[in-house]
Chain A
Amino acid sequence: MPITYDVIRQAACDLYGWSLKKVPDDTLDALAAARLTETNPTSQRTLDFMQAAARAAESEDRHACSDAGFPTYFVKIGTKLTLDGDIRRAFVDGFAELVDTIQPPILKFITHPLTMERSYKGKDMPIVSFDVIDGADYMEITCSPKALGSGRWADLKIFSYPKIAEIEAYFMECVLAAGSQHCPPVIIGMGIGGSFDHAAKMAKQATLRKIGSKHADPMIAEMEERLLVAVNKTGFGPMGTGGDTTALAVHVDYAHGHGFVPVAVCFNCWINRRTAVRIDNDGKVTRLE
Chain B
Amino acid sequence: MNSAETEPLRLTLPLSVDVARSLKVGDMVLLDGEVTVTAGFVTHERMIAALAKGEPLPIDLRGQAFFHMGSNCREENGKWLPNYVNPTTSTRFNAFMPTLIRELGLTSVGGKGGMGAECVAALKEMGCVYFSMPGGASPLLSNGAEERLETGWDDLIEQFRLSRYRLNGFGPVTVAIDAHGNSLYEDLQQAAVSRLPDILKELEATRLASSTNSTR
Tell me if B141 is interfacial: C-beta within 8 Å of chain A: yes
> Distance (Å) between the CB of A117 and the closest chain B CB?
10
Contact A42 B114 (CB under 8 A): no
Contact stretch, chosen from B15-23, B50-58, B147-155, B187-195: B187-195
Complex Cα gap A240–B87 (Å): 14
**A interface footprint on B119-143 (CB within 8 Å = 1, 0 otherwise):** 0000000000000101111111110
Residues of A within 8 A of B158 (CB): 107-108
Contact of A226 among B86, B137, B207, B216 (CB under 8 A): B207
Complex Cα gap A56–B191 (Å): 35
Tell me if A113 is interfacial: C-beta within 8 Å of chain B: no
B90 nearest in chain A by CB position: A181
Which positions 49-103 of chain B face chain A at CB distance < 8 Å? Answer: 69-72, 74, 83-86, 88-89, 91
Contact B199 A239 (CB under 8 A): no
Contact B132 A183 (CB under 8 A): no
Residues of B within 8 A of A233 (CB): 195, 199, 202
Number of interface residues of B (CB under 8 A): 63
**B interface footprint on A143-184 (CB within 8 Å = 1, 0 otherwise):** 000001100100000000001110011001000100111110
Are A218 and B138 also in contact (CB < 8 A) when A66-B84, A226-B206, A233-B199 are?
Answer: no
Are A183 and B135 also in contact (CB < 8 A) when A118-B157, A172-B199, A222-B212 are?
Answer: yes
A181 nearest in chain B by CB position: B113
Number of interface residues of A (CB under 8 A): 62
Tell me if B43 is interfacial: C-beta within 8 Å of chain A: no
Contact of A179 among B134, B174, B185, B203 (CB under 8 A): B185
Tell me if A104 is interfacial: C-beta within 8 Å of chain B: yes
Complex Cα gap A169–B199 (Å): 10
Residues of A within 8 A of B185 (CB): 179-180, 240
Contact A107 B72 (CB under 8 A): yes
Complex Cα gap A63–B70 (Å): 12
Residues of B within 8 A of A41 (CB): 1-5
Are A57 and B139 also in contact (CB < 8 A) when A67-B70, A233-B199, A235-B188 are?
Answer: yes
> Distance (Å) between the CB of B11 and the closest chain A CB?
17
Complex Cα gap A219–B135 (Å): 35
Contact B70 A60 (CB under 8 A): no
Contact B88 A241 (CB under 8 A): no
Residues of A within 8 A of B85 (CB): 66
Contact B216 A49 (CB under 8 A): no
